[in-house]
């Protein structure tokens, strides 16, 4: 009898856990939804008019696409660095060049941004973008609501 009860319990526990889990698509990253959230947040924070947003975001999205591409190249280089000193040095040089190219790309696009919208709003977008990504990371860590600024206590002194 105990064995049957134990087997029944073992069979039921995974079913209960499975029924409590979120739907498959519910927690998945949706790039379209994320891009819309970014655009809404940046538009609001920088007080972009609909015309300014229409002029700004195609340029912004183009820049972000190119940055993601370069970021992927850096990621791939870091995954397969090589097997000797020379190949490591070459990989480091390629990564550093990609970072320089990314900075130049950003500089060129910021010039294009200031032609589309006033520099003050471009600055506000830059700040809002940093704030948005910081909030997203904090939300992913589960700290978005508990800690509202201020320095983090040292590891040994964190409340449990």
Asked if residue 106 lies in contact with residue 85, where contact means CB atoms within 8 angstroms, the answer is no
Residue with tokens 């519910």: 26
Interatomic CA distance for residues 117 and 48, integer angstroms:
8
Average pLDDT, the chain: 81
CB atoms within 10 A of CB 60: 22
Nearest Cα to Cα of residue 60 among 108, 5, 9: 108
pLDDT band per the 50, 70, 90 thresholds, residue 155: low
Top mean pLDDT of 15-24, 32-41, 100-109, 146-155 is at 100-109
CA atoms within 13 A on the CB side of 151: 4
In which band, very low, low, confident or very high, does the pLDDT at 28 lie, cut at 50, 70 and 90?
A: confident
The pLDDT-based confidence of 123 (bands split at 50, 70, 90) is: very high
Residue 117 CB coordination number (10 Å): 20
What is the C-alpha to C-alpha distance for residues 132 and 19, in angstroms, rounded to an integer?
Answer: 33
Quick one: fold of 29-140?
Answer: 1.20.120
User: Per-residue pLDDT tens for 65-88?
Assistant: 999 999 999 999 998 867 889 999
Query: CA angle at residue 60 from 56 to 61, to 5 degrees?
Result: 120
50-61 pLDDT, tens per residue? 999 999 999 999
| pTM of the complete model | 0.67
What is the mean pLDDT of the segment spanning 44-53? 94
Give the Cβ contact number of residue 44 at 10 Å.
10
């Amino acid at each position: 009898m105990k064995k049957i009860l134990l087997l029944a319990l073992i069979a039921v526990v995974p079913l209960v856990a499975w029924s409590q889990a979120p739907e498959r698509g519910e927690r998945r990253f949706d790039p379209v939804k994320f891009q819309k959230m970014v655009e809404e947040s940046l538009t609001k924070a920088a007080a972009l008019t609909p015309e300014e947003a229409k002029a700004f975001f195609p340029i912004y999205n183009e820049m972000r696409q190119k940055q993601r591409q370069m970021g992927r190249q850096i990621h791939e280089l870091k995954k397969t660095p090589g097997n000797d000193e020379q190949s490591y040095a070459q990989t480091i040089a390629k990564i550093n060049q990609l970072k320089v190219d990314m900075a130049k790309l950003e500089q060129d696009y910021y010039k294009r941004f200031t032609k589309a919208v006033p520099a003050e709003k471009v600055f506000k977008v830059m700040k809002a973008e940093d704030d948005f990504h910081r909030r997203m990371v904090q939300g992913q860590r589960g700290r978005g609501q508990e800690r509202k600024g201020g320095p983090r206590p040292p590891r040994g002194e964190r409340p449990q």
